[in-house]
Structure 1
């Protein structure tokens, strides 16, 4: 899977996303969609660092980044809901979520588990969604 330029005349290097062939096969079009969203976010970051983004480019970066964040949050939330996630201690969970407090990790997990499963969480766990 690569993040290719949208315009073939852009003579640029490509970033490769290293995935096992089995992962690429399971992800299918969703992997390509995520790679495109990541490419949009990275392009936005590059524009910001160059200091020359126009309003349309910033809007595209915001849109792509938001779409990517929503899907990444769904993957995280779906991971927390997995039965084997119950075996993760609150200390380990706090480290994994980059939190300083085990209590905060416990509270976030409890809050998530009390909410219904979102459509994007279903997307994360079921390729047919």
Structure 2
């Protein structure tokens, strides 16, 4: 298709430009996330081309898992932040793509019962 607005239009480069302030705060963690995101995208491309070797699939699994773990940590650390306690359970359910506010309430309650893990501390910049 030659329509430039078409979502399947091929691009030579995919750009995800973070704000300069974000780059300064994230430092090498931003580069690490970008590398994991790139690995996940490469895995997706391999799956769609049906040309992946076992080693390539293993690398895609590893990159996707690392990215998912860090994204979950960002979500969980966000839920722990003091400002999040003022967010309604209905709004949390919407943000977490859940059908029920009770499910959001239960998930937050379960999270708050356990201490923050290493990746959550990484997300807040307090990992040692």
State TM-score, norm by structure 1.
Answer: 0.88
SS in 1 for 2:99: coil
- Matched residue count: 118
Alpha-carbon shift at residue 19 of structure 1 (Å): 1.3
Structure 1 residue runs of 4 or more that deviate by more than 3 Å after TM superposition: none
SS in 2 for 1:39: helix
Q: How does 1:48-127 map to 2 (within 5 A)?
A: 48-126=47-125
Give 1:7's aligned residue.
none
Give 1:13's aligned residue.
12
Alpha-carbon shift at residue 127 of structure 1 (Å): 5.8
CA RMSD across the alignment: 1.3
Unmatched 5+ stretches in structure 2: 1-10
1:47 and 2:55 correspond: no
SS in 2 for 1:16: coil
User: Does structure 2 retain, via aligned residues, the 8 Å contact 1:27–1:127?
Assistant: no
Unmatched 5+ stretches in structure 1: 1-11
C-alpha distance in structure 1 between counterparts of 2:99 and 2:93, whole Å? 6
